[in-house]
Amino acid sequence: MSLKAPLFAQGKTPSTLAPASTAAHQIFDLSIFVVTITGAIFLAVGGLLATALYKFRARRSDPMIEPAQIYGSTQIELAWTVVPILIVVVLFLTTARIIFAIQDAPKPPGALDVTAIGHQFWWEFRYPKYGIVTANELHIPVSPELAPKPTFLKLTSADVNHSFWIPQLAGKTDLIANHVNTMWLAPQKSGLFLGQCAQFCGSQHAMMLLRVYVDTPEQFDAWIKNQQRSGRQDAQVAAGRKVFETQACMNCHAVAGTAAAGRFGPDLTHLMSRATLASGAMDNTPENLRQWIKAPDTFKQSALMPAMQLNDEQLDQVTAYLLTLK
Amino acid sequence: MSSIPLRVPEDALKWRLPYKSRVGMAALIVGESALFTIFVVAYIFYLGRSLTGPKPSDVLEVPVLGTICLLSSSLTIWRAERAIENDRRRSFTVWLATTVVLAVCFLVGTALEWHKLIYRDGLTISTNLFGTTFYSLVGLHATHVIVGLFLLSAVLLFSLFGWIDQRQSDRFSVVALYWHFVDAVWVVVFTVVYLIGR
Amino acid sequence: MSDYSVSAHEAFGPPVSVKKRGTFLESLHAWVVTVDHKRLGILYILYSTFFLLVAGAEALLMRLQLAYPHNQLLSPQVYNRFFTMHGTTMVFLVGMPFLFGFGNYIVPLQIGARDMAFPRLNAFSFWLTAFGGLLLYYSFLGGGGLYGVGNAPDVGWFAYAPLTARSFSPGHATDYWALALIVSGFGTLGTAVNIIATIVSMRCKGMTLMRMPLFTWLFLVVSMLTLVTITPLTAAQFMLLIDRYLGGHFFDTQAGGSSLVWIHFFWIFGHPEVYVLVMPAFAIANEVIPVFCRKAIFGYPAMVAASVGIMFVSLGVWAHHMFTVGMTSVSNAFFTLSTMLVGVPTGIKIFNWIATLWGGRIRFTTPMLFCIGFLFQFLIAGLTGIMLSVSPWDWQLHNSYFVIAHFHYVLVGAVVFCIFAALYFWYPKATGKLMDETLGKWHFWLFTIGFHITFDTMHFLGLLGMPRSIYTYQPDRGWNFLNLIVSIGGVIQGIAVLIFAFNFVRSYFRGKIAGDDPWDAWTLEWTTSSPPPAYNFEQTPEVHSRRPLWDLKHPDDPDWEYEA
C-alpha cells in the first residue's frame, strides 16, 4: 500500500485535508500557513539541537579536563525571547482574522435554517421553515460562491453533550443541553460528506455517525417536497401499522399523519428515504431493519432502542409497514 | 579524587529561614482560597438562574450578629497572640476563651438560620439552584469554622492545664493565621451571599 | 588556599557502618510505618510503576481493539471504561505520584536537609494517595450498582456533565471516580504544602534561592501550581457528589444547571495540571543534561524566570480546551493569544538546553539518551501545541486523534521519557547499584521507535477526521492501515517497558556497585552514601554556589566566582 493512499484517502474519508466549503477552506489555508511557520521553527531548532549533539559528542581523544563552563549570555537570551514573541504576534494576528471571519460572519437573508438536536446516540434535524423533522442524515443545498446559500445551524442537546463534526465542511461545534450554539455550512460542491459525533456521549458514542448530503438546488427541492408529505397510508400493511401503534413503538417514534407522535427516538415518517439505520450503524436494508427491531444489540449494544420482544409474525408485519415509509 | 582542598569564601552568611509551619499554613491557605474561589464563582454564576423559588431576597436575612461575632473574634485572637508572645498566660487564656465563645455564637447563628430556612421557608439543598449553591458555599465555610473551633478548643484546654507558654507562641500563631483566613473568607462569602446576592 | 583537606564523602557523608537485616515482617512493618522521605519517595515510585504497568496494559488492550475496524475484542462498555481508567490512572496514579516521589526523594537531599518539613504529613499524604488509587480500582469490583450498567467509571477522564448525572450514569462507578480523586487530591495537596515548606524553610546554610538546584526550583514552582490547581478539581468533585447524593443541581441541566460550568472548572484544573506534570520533567532534564555534557546550565536566572512565567501563564489558558463549546469570538481570540504566549518561556527553556549542550562533551548514557529524546519530542509537542492554539484549526483538531497524539507527545514523549531518565539517573543513589546500560539502551531505542510509530501516525489519523473515544470505526473511512500501524507501535512500547521492568528488578540484585557519585555530578545528593543513611548527612552541608560538588572538585576554579 502506498503512503499516499492511507494519508490522503479519497472517497469516504472525512479528511480535514480535503475541504469542500468556505469555512473549511479558510481553516485549511490557515493551517498551511501555521504548518509553514512551525515547520521552519522545527527545522531551525531541531537542526541546532542535532548539530550540538553531533559536534560536541564525547570522543576518546578528548583531554581529561572538563570543557569550558559558560553560565549564560544576556544578549543571546534576550534574542531568543524577542524572536518568539514576534512570531507569536504574527501567528495571533493571522488567526484572529480567521476567527472573526468565520465566527462573526453575517447571516444572508436567503440562508437556510436548521436546528440540530443531539440525542444519545442519534441526530435530530428540524427545518422550521419547511416543517420537516428528520434524523441522522442532513440535507442541505450547495452554496456556490456566486450565489451563496449557506445553511445556518442552531445546535443543542436533548441529553448529554455531543459535537457536530463534518471535517470537510466545517470545524466542530458542541451540542450542549440548555445552551444554543450556532454554526454555518457553505459547501461549494454537492455530494455526500461523512462525519460523526466528536464529544464522548456514552456507550455508543462511536456509532453516532453523521451524514450530510449536499444537494443541487433541484435535488434539494425534490427532497424537501417528499419530506413534507405525511407518512404513506398503505392498506396492505395495516397489520404492521397496528403493531407499530399498539406495541409501544409509537411511544418513542413519530410518523406524521398517524397517531404515532413519540419524540424520544428518530422520526420515522420517511425512514426509507435514508441510507442507513441507527445513526449509521448499518445500511438500511429490509433484513437489517428486521434484525434491528428484533435485537438492536446485534448492531449497537446499549443503544436506547429496546428489543421489542415481538413474535416473528409481528416482526414481519411491522417491518413491512416501515418499508412503505418512503 | 581522594583528597581535595576546601576553601570557603569570606562572607559568612547569617542564615535564618522562615518558620516551617507558618509557611505550610500559608501554602494551605493559598490552596483553600482556590477551593473557595470555585464555590464563590459557582454561586455568582447561578445567581438568579433558579427555575423555581424561593429566591434569595424572599428568605435570606442578613446575619448581622453572627458577622459581628466572627469578625471581632479575629481581634480577640490577635490579642491572644500578643499575650502569649509576652508570656502573659492568664490574659492569653481569657482572650482565647472569648474567641471560642464568639466562634460558637457564629455557628449557633448559622444553625438557627438554616433551621429557619429548612423548616419555615422549605429551602433545602435540592430545592433549586439557589439552595444548592447557598448550602454548599455557606456550609463549606461553616465546616472551616468548625475545624478552627476544634483547634482553638484544644489550645484552650492545653492552656487551662497550664501547658502553654511563650515557647508555643510560634505554633499558636499558625492556628491564628488559619483563623484569620476563615474570617477573611467570611467577608467574601457575606458580601457575595448577603449583599450582592440578595 | 586551605589548610585542611577532605573528600566529598568525608565532607558531608555519613560514617561507614555495618547494616543489619531484619526479618521480612520487620522490614515490611518498617516500610509501612516509615516517615523517612527517601522510603516514602521509593514507595511513591513503586506505586506509580505498578499503575504504569496497569494503565499501559489498558492502553494495549484498547490498541488491540482498534487494530482493525469492527473488531469485537472489547465491548463498547469495556472500551469506554478502559479509556476512562487509562487517563485517570496515568494522570493521578502514575504521573503525579511518580513526580512527587522524585520530589520527595531528591529535594531534601539536594537542599541538604535531613527530611521533609513535616515527615508525618508526608507519610499521611502518601497513604491517602495510595488509598485513592485502590478506591478507583475497587470500582471494578464494587461499582456494580444496578443490573447491566458499568462497573468502572466510563465517562472519560474529563467526565463532562451531564453525562455524570445519576440519570445518565447510574450505579456507583462515577462515585468511585469522584471520591478517589478527592482522596488522592488531598494527598497531593498535603505533599505540595510539604514540599513548599521544605524548600522555603529547610535549606542548608548558604543555599539562597538563587543557589538552589533548578530541580528544586521547579519543584517549588510545581508545588505552588498544584495548590491552586488540584483544589478547583476537588471543589468540582464535591459539587458532583452533592448533585449525585444530595439532589443538588450544579450540573443538572433540567433545573437550570450548566454543563459549561463543569467544563470550565475541569479545565481550570486540567490545563495547569499538564504543567504540573511537565515541569518536573523539566526539573529532571535540568539535572541530567548538564551532568552528561559536563557544563553548567546555561542561563540559570532565565530558567527560573521562565518556570515562574509558565506557572502564571498556565493559569490563564484553560479555555483552549473549549474552543468548540461556543464561546464568543473575543474569548476565542484571547485564549488563542494566551496559549501561544506559553511558547515564549518554553522556547527559552529549549534554547537554554541547547546552549548548555553547545560546547560541552556529551556522554550518551541511558539517562542522557532519554533526555535527548525528551528535547526532540518536546519541541514537536510544543509546535503541535501552537497548531492547536490556533482556534479555527482547533475546531477541526479538537477531540480528534491529533489531540491524542499531541498530549501523548507531552505526557509520554516528554514526561515519561524524563521519568525514565530520572529512574536511570537516581537509581544508583537509591539502591547503591547501577542499572544495566545495555538493557537500558535496548529499552531506550525500542521505546523511542515504538513511541514514534504510534504517536506520529496518530497525528495523521486526526487530520483524516478520526475522533477520540470511539471503540470502533467504519471500515470505509480510510483509517484502517494507519490504525494498524499505531497498534503495532503500541506493542513495541509495551515490550520496551517490560525490558525496563526486568532491568529495574535485576539490577537491584545483580547491578554493579555504584558508589556515592557514579555520574561525577554536582549537587548535594551525590555527597552522601548510596543509599543515603536515614539522616541523609552526617554534617549539615554548607554551600556557596549552585554546584557545591563542582567547588569541591575544582577548588582552583569554583563556581561562586562566576555566578551573578
Confidence of residue B53 (pLDDT cuts 50, 70, 90): confident
Confidence of residue B181 (pLDDT cuts 50, 70, 90): very high
Domain membership of residue B11 (yes or no) is: no
Q: Provide the sign of the torsion angle of the four alpha carbons C338, A76, C210, C217, taken in this order.
A: positive
Residues of B whose CB is below 8 A from C249: 126, 128-129, 132
Mean pLDDT of A151-180: 96
In sequence order, what are the residues at sequence separation of 6 or more whose Cβ sits closer than 8 angstroms to the Cβ of residue B149? B100, B103, B104, B107
For chains B and C, count residue pairs whose Cβ atoms are closer than 8 Å.
147
* Residues of chain C numbered 67-96 and touching chain A (CB < 8 Å): 75-77, 80
Given this model, what pLDDT does residue A31 score?
A: 96
A34 near C CB under 8 A:
yes
Contact C354 A177 (CB under 8 A): no
* Residue to substitute from C249, C516, C517, interface B, most B β-carbons within 10 A: C249
Q: What is the distance, to the nearest Å, from the Cα of residue A270 to the centroid of all Cα atoms in its chain?
A: 22
For chains A and C, count residue pairs whose Cβ atoms are closer than 8 Å.
291
Partners for A (CB, 8 Å, 3+ pairs)?
A: C
Task: For residue C564, give the C-alpha cell.
Answer: 551573578
Confidence of residue A156 (pLDDT cuts 50, 70, 90): very high
Q: Which of A56-65, C498-507, C510-519 has the lowest mean pLDDT?
A: A56-65
CA distance C276 to chain B (A): 15
Phi and psi at residue C70, to the nearest 5°: 55, 30
Contact A14 C464 (CB under 8 A): yes
Domain membership of residue B4 (yes or no) is: no
What is the value of pTM for the model shown? 0.93
* Residue to substitute from C193, C228, C234, interface B, most B β-carbons within 10 A: C193
Residues of C whose CB is below 8 A from A16: 396-397, 463-465
In sequence order, what are the residues at sequence separation of 6 or more whose Cβ sits closer than 8 angstroms to the Cβ of residue A146? none
Closest chain B residue to C246, measured at CA: B126
Checking if the pLDDT of C238 tops 90, the result is: yes
Domain membership of residue B175 (yes or no) is: yes
Return d(Cα C321, Cα C398) in angstroms, integer. Answer: 8
* Residues of chain C numbered 339-398 and touching chain B (CB < 8 Å): none
Given this model, what pLDDT does residue A11 score?
A: 65
Domains of chain C: 38-561 (1.20.210.10)
DSSP B93-125: HHHHHHHHHHHHHHHHHHHHHHHIIIIIS---T
Contact C472 A179 (CB under 8 A): no
Cβ atoms C547, C540 nearer than 8 A: no
* Residue to substitute from A12, A69, A193, interface C, most C β-carbons within 10 A: A69
Beta strand A209-215 with A137-141 is parallel
Return d(Cα C90, Cα C419) in angstroms, integer. Answer: 13
- Number of DSSP helices (H) and strands (E) in chain B, helices first: 6, 1
CB count in 10 Å sphere of residue C312: 11
Using the structure block, give the residue that is written with the C-alpha cell 539536594. Answer: C110
Distances (CA, A) of A168 to A151, A189, C397, C404: 15, 11, 12, 20
Q: State the number of CA atoms in the 13 A half-sphere of C356 facing the CB.
A: 27
pLDDT (tens digit, 9 = 90+) per residue, C339-372?
999 999 999 999 999 999 999 999 999 999 999 9
* Residues of chain B numbered 62-121 and touching chain C (CB < 8 Å): none
In terms of Cα–Cα distance, which of C175, C179, C165, C182 is closest to C143? Answer: C175
| Angle formed at CA C527 by CA C437 and CA C22, multiple of 5 degrees | 75
Return d(Cα C189, Cα C231) in angstroms, integer. Answer: 8
Phi and psi at residue A81, to the nearest 5°: -95, -40
| Angle formed at CA C512 by CA C509 and CA C515, multiple of 5 degrees | 115
Partners for B (CB, 8 Å, 3+ pairs)?
A: C
Cβ atoms A72, C301 nearer than 8 A: yes
Angle between helices C76-88 and C37-66 (to 10 degrees): 150
Checking if the pLDDT of C231 tops 60, the result is: yes
Closest chain B residue to C542, measured at CA: B8
CA Rg, chain A, in Å? 27
Domain membership of residue B1 (yes or no) is: no
Contact A80 C347 (CB under 8 A): yes
Return d(Cα C104, Cα C108) in angstroms, integer. Answer: 7
Residues of B whose CB is below 8 A from C227: 27, 30-31, 34
Checking if the pLDDT of C126 tops 80, the result is: yes
Contact B6 C553 (CB under 8 A): no
Checking if the pLDDT of B14 tops 90, the result is: no
In sequence order, what are the residues at sequence separation of 6 or more whose Cβ sits closer than 8 angstroms to the Cβ of residue C42? C101, C105, C430
In terms of Cα–Cα distance, which of B1, C529, B99, C435 is closest to A64? Answer: B1
C185-216 CB burial, b ≥16 within 10 A, e <16: bbbbbbbbbbbbbbbbbbbbebbeeebbbbbb
Checking if the pLDDT of C60 tops 90, the result is: yes
Residues of C whose CB is below 8 A from B136: 238-239, 242, 248, 250
H or E element, residue C137: helix C119-142
Residue C558, preceding peptide bond in cis (omega within 30° of 0): no
CA distance B52 to chain C (A): 8
Contact C246 B45 (CB under 8 A): no
Given this model, what pLDDT does residue A62 score?
A: 77
Mean pLDDT of C53-67: 96
Task: For residue A254, give the C-alpha cell.
Answer: 413519530
* Residue to substitute from C368, C396, C556, interface A, most A β-carbons within 10 A: C396
Confidence of residue C171 (pLDDT cuts 50, 70, 90): confident
Checking if the pLDDT of C15 tops 50, the result is: yes
Given this model, what pLDDT does residue A3 score?
A: 41
Question: For C315-365, where are the alpha helices, taking DSSP H only?
Answer: 329-357
Give me chain C's average pLDDT, please.
92
Given this model, what pLDDT does residue C540 score?
A: 87
A63 near C CB under 8 A:
no
In sequence order, what are the residues at sequence separation of 6 or more whose Cβ sits closer than 8 angstroms to the Cβ of residue C75? A301, C471
Contact A13 C471 (CB under 8 A): no
Confidence of residue B34 (pLDDT cuts 50, 70, 90): very high
Domain tally for chain B? 1
Return d(Cα C489, Cα C446) in angstroms, integer. Answer: 10
Contact C77 A13 (CB under 8 A): no
Checking if the pLDDT of C133 tops 90, the result is: yes
C212 near B CB under 8 A:
no
Residues of C whose CB is below 8 A from B28: 189, 193
Q: What is the distance, to the nearest Å, from the Cα of residue B48 to the centroid of all Cα atoms in its chain?
A: 28
CA distance C429 to chain A (A): 23
Checking if the pLDDT of C261 tops 70, the result is: yes
Q: What is the distance, to the nearest Å, from the Cα of residue C413 to the centroid of all Cα atoms in its chain?
A: 11
Given this model, what pLDDT does residue C6 score?
A: 47
Domain membership of residue B7 (yes or no) is: no
CA distance B54 to chain C (A): 14
Give me chain B's average pLDDT, please.
92
| DSSP 8-state code for residue A125 | E
CA distance B11 to chain C (A): 10
Return d(Cα B96, Cα B176) in angstroms, integer. Answer: 10
pLDDT above 70 as % of chain A = 97
CB count in 10 Å sphere of residue C137: 18
Residue A152's SS3 state is strand
Distances (CA, A) of C251 to C6, C62, C523: 65, 30, 50
A302 near C CB under 8 A:
yes
* Residues of chain C numbered 391-410 and touching chain A (CB < 8 Å): 391-400
Q: Provide the sign of the torsion angle of the four alpha carbons C254, C255, C260, C264, taken in this order.
A: negative
Distances (CA, A) of C261 to A147, A161, B17, C64: 41, 13, 42, 36
B129 near C CB under 8 A:
yes
CA distance C393 to chain A (A): 6
CA distance B13 to chain C (A): 6
C555 near B CB under 8 A:
yes
Phi and psi at residue A115, to the nearest 5°: -105, 125
pLDDT (tens digit, 9 = 90+) per residue, B148-162?
999 999 999 999 999
Domain membership of residue B12 (yes or no) is: no
Given this model, what pLDDT does residue C558 score?
A: 85
Range of the domain at B184: 21-195
Checking if the pLDDT of A227 tops 60, the result is: yes
A104 near C CB under 8 A:
yes
CA distance C437 to chain B (A): 25
CA distance B185 to chain C (A): 16
Residues of C whose CB is below 8 A from B9: 544, 560
Domain membership of residue B32 (yes or no) is: yes
Phi and psi at residue A151, to the nearest 5°: -110, 125
Residues of C whose CB is below 8 A from B144: none
Mean pLDDT of A76-95: 94
**The CATH number of the domain where B77 resides is what?**
1.20.120.80
Return d(Cα C63, Cα C73) in angstroms, integer. Answer: 10
**Residue C389 is which amino acid?**
S
Domain membership of residue B5 (yes or no) is: no
Residues of C whose CB is below 8 A from A41: 383
In sequence order, what are the residues at sequence separation of 6 or more whose Cβ sits closer than 8 angstroms to the Cβ of residue C388? C320, C339, C394, C397, C398, C402, C403, C406
**Residue A145 is which amino acid?**
E
Distances (CA, A) of B55 to A69, A106, A215, B51: 69, 39, 51, 10
Of C2, C208, C230, Cβ closest to residue B6: C2
CA distance A64 to chain C (A): 11
Confidence of residue C5 (pLDDT cuts 50, 70, 90): very low
